Amino acid sequence: MRDFRFLQPDDLSAVLKAKQDERENGRILAGGTNLLSYIKLGRVKEGLLIDITRLKELKQIEEKAEHITFGASLTIQDLIESPVLRKRLPGFFESLQLFGNPLIRAKATLGGNIADASPIADTAPILLVLDAVVNIASSRGERTVELARFFTGVGKTVLEPDEVLTSIKVPVHAESRTKMLKLGLRKGTACSVTSTAVRLEMADGTIQDLRVAMGGVAPTPLRAYSVEQALTGKRFSVDEIETHASLLRQDISPISDVRGTAEYRREVSVKLLKRALKTAAGMEV
């Protein structure tokens, strides 16, 4: 650790000043579940570690009628224990049970999981279908970005070198049903081979609105627009699901690695999607 410096600011302005000065060498440290691993592996070798754990403004939950804003430094366990999340966004709450293990959930932060931009980030698919927006700050000002446009590649985002992700705003879709499924090589804390999330809104048996998002099947977590467009406006039925779920192959571009081949991921992803849609609609699977 001799090539690292350490800073523990008491307010956001000091964090933004450090990022302005250090840019790429300013490493935001919150839970550290990813960053400390990168340091141990030698992928990150130097820089200023900016510890943001003292910043109370990044640990707030702001509840409004149409949306809820979550501070980026909230841990996954903080979210699980939030009665606001459980009541207002039950699908998001349920999805967090799939995140890591109790030790990881106690340290890993929501903002860190998003900003790390892993293709298999566990919170990304469910937040994508919920139409989440990320709030970003720098010494130059603030801006918001739709999560669907936030990821640009493996480990890459739209964040500029002097910017910090400060919070995530999640709309509340009272009439929608959401479901996330994750497949790993074993039960427990395994990284996902692929994951899928859906948000479904129906009226009189017809799909009025649909969001589908996937993880582990492309360089970034992504929305499956082909499936969304094909099923929106259709009567919800097993036949329609079986017919149109295969369009998912047009939206994804999985690779082969130690957890599975590209073809295996394609086939499993289609099956997961079918199951998620049926479960969200209240059908037995």
Round the average pLDDT of the chain to a whole number and report it. 93
CA distance linking residue 138 with residue 19, whole number of Å:
8
CA distance linking residue 35 with residue 53, whole number of Å:
14
Fold of the CATH domain 177-280: Enolase-like; domain 1 (3.30.390)
> H/E element holding 115?
helix 110-115
User: If 0-12 CB within 10 Å is exposed, 13-18 middle and 19+ buried, where does residue 270 land?
Assistant: buried
Residue 102: per-residue pLDDT: 87
Q: Which of 121, 95, 92 is nearest to 108 (CA)?
A: 121
Share of the chain above pLDDT 90, in %: 84
- Considering the domain 4-51 in this protein, what is its CATH number? 3.30.43
* For range 194-207, the mean pLDDT: 95
Per-residue pLDDT band for 259 (boundaries 50, 70, 90) equals confident
Residue 174: per-residue pLDDT: 82
Fold of the CATH domain 56-171: 3.30.465
CB 195 within 8 A of CB 219: no
Can you give the pTM of this predicted structure? 0.94
> Is the predicted pLDDT of residue 2 greater than 70, yes or no?
no
* For range 139-168, the mean pLDDT: 97
Share of the chain above pLDDT 70, in %: 96
Query: Fold match between 4-51 and 177-280?
Result: no
> Is the predicted pLDDT of residue 1 greater than 60, yes or no?
no
Domain range annotation of the chain: 4-51, 56-171, 177-280
* For range 191-217, the mean pLDDT: 93
CB 113 within 8 A of CB 78: no
Per-residue pLDDT band for 203 (boundaries 50, 70, 90) equals very high
Please report, as a single letter, which amino acid is at residue 147.
L
